[in-house]
């Protein structure tokens, strides 16, 4: 399939999203509305990394197609499903097999999530998309809107969302067990991949098994280097969202759900040195949320949420026993500071307990996913499969469907922006419904480090750091709503 045909395909399938225009279901074939006794035909895009365990958790169904730009990295997944047809380009996969695909699993790098998911939704395919849901805030808003109009099942891949621990944390808090919450601290051990790097000057030839142009997709062109992929792409701004984007969709999930957070009114971020190319090695972010509508047993006053990563942690609360490791579950954790008590838990609510030592007796009311425990693969994916098989009129939506995951992902990406915009030296006021900052002046400038230089002359240090000076309004607009590389169409 040549470039002109691919562009033609995208125009037919995606440009309808402009202005959130929706293709009616009756004009699209392969809707995938099947009875529970039938099996879905599932295709996977991005199957060399997290996509492999996701698909193995879906092997109760028919895995009919596998797509990856790196066939050597994807080889183990190809071997898991030898009957599935193989593709490099997801557009070609849809063009060739679109009528035979009911549902799509997406586990590509962050920067390609939205384009693939938006196309699938336009074609009325059920969508399971790994976290973070998208690379930009506008993309999250777009997928939320598309999912609200297309009668398909959706799920973001933050597995802990289905776990019993996350549900119990929500129930405890909303039952008023710790009182009003005005402060939450959350953290992770990430990054566990290189960050804070400058773009390599060396130009390498990509391996024959990697289609480098397809890996770049909508991102600006750059020469290949082995530091970018596989795995390391998370630390590069053009492809990933750093430690915050990777882990906040896990760690902050029970925070967002329990406290009905919605849009923050302001954000502020600080970090270790960062540059135009790569996320910093450590960062702190503060979100401020206005008061929300009270729940039956809990007031929701204005509050702050603090984030830490890269080895940074909050100061230990007084009642936390000495020797307690804040990173006990190996992923991260949360402290909910309430007016009556403090709740401590690991990522996704794992190991939840009150620091007073009291064990709440709260009658469960949230839906439980059978066999769901923490981050173990299987139940989260199977809950999505269940939703795919239910009729749209009678469907119980999956736990992290896009109506929930889209707005939540916007909050996560705002944390990423807080760090990228720290050189403005402002607490940034956010207008969530209109996706804009309200206190950015036309003459505001961003000064971002591009490279570090260091030499010694006669034993004395000489520093030669290079910075770029950027118009803040224009740069922020690009961060919120990306312009895609030529040959790739921005949906909407």
Give the model confidence (pLDDT) of 61-96 as tens digits: 999 999 999 999 999 999 999 999 999 999 999 999
Residues 6+ apart with CB under 8 A from 311: 189, 282
Please tell me the predicted confidence (pLDDT) of residue 453. 77
Confidence of residue 373 (pLDDT cuts 50, 70, 90): confident
| pLDDT for residue 490 is more than 80 | no
The encoded tokens of residue 463 equal 């520093």
Query: What DSSP letter does each residue of 197-250 carry, written as one string?
Result: PPPPS---PPPTTB-HHHHHTTSPP----TTTSSSGGGGBTTT--HHHHHHHHH
Rg (CA), the chain: 23
State the average pLDDT over residues 172-180: 98
d(CA 83, CA 74): 15
State the average pLDDT over residues 242-253: 96
472-480 vs 402-420: helix crossing angle, rounded to 10: 150
Q: Which residue has the tokens 């929701």?
A: 300
Residues 6+ apart with CB under 8 A from 147: 121, 127, 154, 401, 402, 403, 406
Please tell me the predicted confidence (pLDDT) of residue 491. 60
Confidence of residue 15 (pLDDT cuts 50, 70, 90): very low
Please tell me the predicted confidence (pLDDT) of residue 345. 95
Confidence of residue 59 (pLDDT cuts 50, 70, 90): very high
3-class DSSP state for residue 431? strand
State the average pLDDT over residues 37-43: 89
State the average pLDDT over residues 225-251: 96
Q: Which CATH architecture has domain 3-159+376-400?
A: 3-Layer(aba) Sandwich (3.40)
d(CA 441, CA 444): 5
Instruction: Characterize the bridge pairing of strands 266-271 and 283-289.
Output: antiparallel
Mean pLDDT of all residues belonging to the chain: 91
State the average pLDDT over residues 189-197: 93
Instruction: Characterize the bridge pairing of strands 283-289 and 353-354.
Output: unpaired
Please tell me the predicted confidence (pLDDT) of residue 483. 93
State the average pLDDT over residues 287-302: 98
State the average pLDDT over residues 264-280: 96
CB atoms within 10 A of CB 350: 23
State the average pLDDT over residues 160-173: 96
| pLDDT for residue 160 is more than 80 | yes
pTM here? 0.92
393-402, pLDDT tens digit by residue?
999 999 999 9
Which one-letter DSSP state was computed for residue 19?
G
Return the minimum-mean-pLDDT range out of 52-61, 88-97, 134-143, 463-472: 463-472
Please tell me the predicted confidence (pLDDT) of residue 213. 97
The encoded tokens of residue 372 equal 């769901």
CB atoms within 10 A of CB 32: 20
Confidence of residue 375 (pLDDT cuts 50, 70, 90): confident
């Amino acid at each position: 399939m040549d470039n002109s045909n691919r562009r033609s395909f995208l125009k037919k399938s995606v440009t309808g999203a402009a202005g959130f225009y929706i293709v009616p279901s009756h004009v699209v074939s392969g809707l995938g509305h099947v009875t529970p006794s039938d099996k879905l035909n599932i295709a996977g895009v991005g199957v060399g990394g997290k996509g492999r365990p996701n698909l193995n958790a879906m092997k109760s169904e028919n895995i009919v197609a596998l797509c990856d730009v790196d066939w050597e990295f994807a080889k183990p997944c190809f071997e898991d499903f030898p009957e599935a047809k193989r593709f490099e380009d997801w557009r070609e996969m849809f063009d060739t097999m679109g009528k035979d695909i009911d549902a799509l699993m997406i586990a590509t790098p962050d920067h390609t999530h939205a384009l693939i998911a938006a196309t699938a939704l336009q074609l009325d395919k059920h969508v399971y998309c790994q976290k973070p849901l998208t690379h930009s805030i506008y993309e999250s808003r777009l997928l939320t809107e598309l999912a609200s109009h297309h009668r398909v099942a959706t799920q973001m891949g933050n597995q802990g969302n289905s776990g019993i621990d996350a549900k119990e944390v929500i129930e405890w808090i909303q039952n008023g067990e710790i009182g009003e919450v005005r402060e939450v601290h959350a953290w992770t051990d990430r990054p566990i991949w290189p960050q804070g790097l400058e773009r390599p000057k060396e130009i390498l030839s990509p391996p024959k098994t990697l289609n480098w142009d397809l890996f770049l997709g909508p991102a600006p062109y750059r020469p290949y280097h082995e530091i970018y992929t596989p795995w390391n792409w998370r630390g590069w701004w053009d492809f990933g969202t750093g430690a915050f984007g990777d882990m906040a969709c896990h760690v902050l999930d029970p925070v967002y759900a329990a406290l009905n957070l919605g849009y923050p009114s302001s954000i502020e971020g600080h970090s270790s040195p960062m540059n135009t190319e790569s996320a910093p090695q450590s960062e702190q972010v503060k979100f401020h949320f206005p008061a929300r509508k009270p729940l039956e047993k809990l007031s929701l006053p204005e509050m702050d949420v603090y984030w830490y990563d890269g080895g940074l942690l909050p100061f230990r609360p007084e009642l936390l026993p000495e020797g307690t490791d804040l990173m006990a579950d190996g992923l991260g954790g949360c402290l909910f500071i309430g007016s009556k008590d403090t709740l401590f838990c690991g990522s996704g609510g794992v190991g939840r307990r009150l620091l007073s030592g009291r064990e709440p007796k709260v009658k469960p009311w949230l839906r439980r996913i059978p066999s769901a425990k923490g981050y173990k693969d299987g139940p989260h994916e199977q809950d999505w499969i269940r939703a795919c098989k239910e009729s749209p009129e009678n469907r119980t939506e999956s736990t992290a469907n896009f109506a929930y995951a889209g707005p939540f992902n916007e909050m996560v990406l705002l944390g990423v922006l807080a760090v990228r915009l720290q050189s403005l030296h402002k607490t940034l006021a956010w207008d969530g419904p209109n996706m804009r900052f309200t206190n950015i002046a036309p003459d505001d400038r961003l000064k971002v480090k591009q490279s570090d230089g260091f030499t010694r002359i006669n034993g004395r240090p000489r520093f030669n750091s290079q910075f770029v000076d950027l118009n803040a309004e224009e740069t922020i607009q690009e961060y919120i709503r990306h312009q895609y590389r030529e040959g790739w169409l921005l949906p909407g």
